[in-house]
Structure 1
Amino acid sequence: MTYAGDVTPSEAFAAVTESEDAVLVDVRTRAEWAYVGVPQVDSHRAPVLVEWQHYPDGALNDSFVDELKAAGIVEGTPIYFLCRSGARSISAAEAATAAGLGPAYNVVEGFEGPHDADGHRTVAGWKVAGLPWKQG
């Protein structure tokens, strides 16, 4: 493993709400933030929103690490990366670690989790865990 490890959505929420230093970074696309929703940390802190890949072409965000740093993330900041299902966030955690940031964690299951038998994302993830989020 080339990053600090995997955590559940509930573990990530606890980490970022119990420490002013820990940061939740949502690496989904602007379209996902706008139409699906955004996780909430607490009333005075929002997650950092930095795309790992751009929509609609899926191109990697070449300025990803620079955008993390511009958001105030420095070496030693615990970072919890979240995407839709826990795949892109692994790549983000690896990139942050390689750049000397972190410890960087992947939030398994992501914001929406995997598909159920009917093809809906209703079985796991941030939303299904009942953690705070808002839409629109």
Structure 2
Amino acid sequence: MELGYAGDVSPTEAWQKLATDPHAVLVDVRTQPEWSYVGLPDLGSLGKPIHKLAWQVFPEMQVNAGFLDGIRAAGIGPAQPILLLCRSGVRSAAAAKLLTQHGFAACYNIRDGFEGPGDADKHRGRVAGWKVEGLPWVQG
């Protein structure tokens, strides 16, 4: 089955791409409360910013009608590798598909996202994801 975007990568693969490709960018598509309370990837050692652009608008969680315009306003071009991150990889996959449909050629979903799926106790952040893979992140 075709994904509709360039592919899924692990958080570690995303980090490696960001570290080795000067044109690669990270777009965190979670919501403001997630950025504030759960944490953010820390790309400081790579000298790169995190582009924070919500795929859904909190608290209604409707798809952000200005998402595509926000990507363009951030100066992200259609030929740049775009690594998209959400909580678990669902919203970022939808964002990757939309961007691909609008001519962005190298959109990658970060599989398992920032916190990954829930464990047997329905707690996130213990099974997979950016945090579990030990990649740099900050909170607060």
**TM interval, short-chain normalised:** over 0.9
Q: Which runs of 5+ in 2 are unaligned?
A: none
1:45-93 CA-partner distances (Å, limit 9, x unpaired): 1211100001111011001011011111011000010000000011000
Superposed, 1:42-121 pairs within 5 Å as: 42-43=44-45, 44-121=47-124
* SS across alignment from 1:95: helix
Query: Residue 23 of structure 2 corresponds to which residue in structure 1?
Result: 21
Distance in 2 separating the partners of 1:83 and 1:95 = 15
TM-score by length of 2: 0.94
Query: Residue 10 of structure 2 corresponds to which residue in structure 1?
Result: 8
Distance in 1 separating the partners of 2:133 and 2:28 = 17
The runs of 4+ residues in structure 1 deviating greater than 3 Å are: none
- How many residues align? The count is 136
Q: Which runs of 5+ in 1 are unaligned?
A: none
* SS across alignment from 1:75: coil
Query: Residue 129 of structure 1 corresponds to which residue in structure 2?
Result: 133
* SS across alignment from 2:97: helix
Distance in 1 separating the partners of 2:104 and 2:44 = 23
Letter of the 2:91 counterpart: R
- The answer (yes or no) to whether the contact 1:17–1:42 under 8 Å persists in 2 is no
- The answer (yes or no) to whether the contact 1:81–1:106 under 8 Å persists in 2 is yes
Shift of residue 17, structure 1, vs aligned partner: 1.3
Letter of the 1:127 counterpart: K
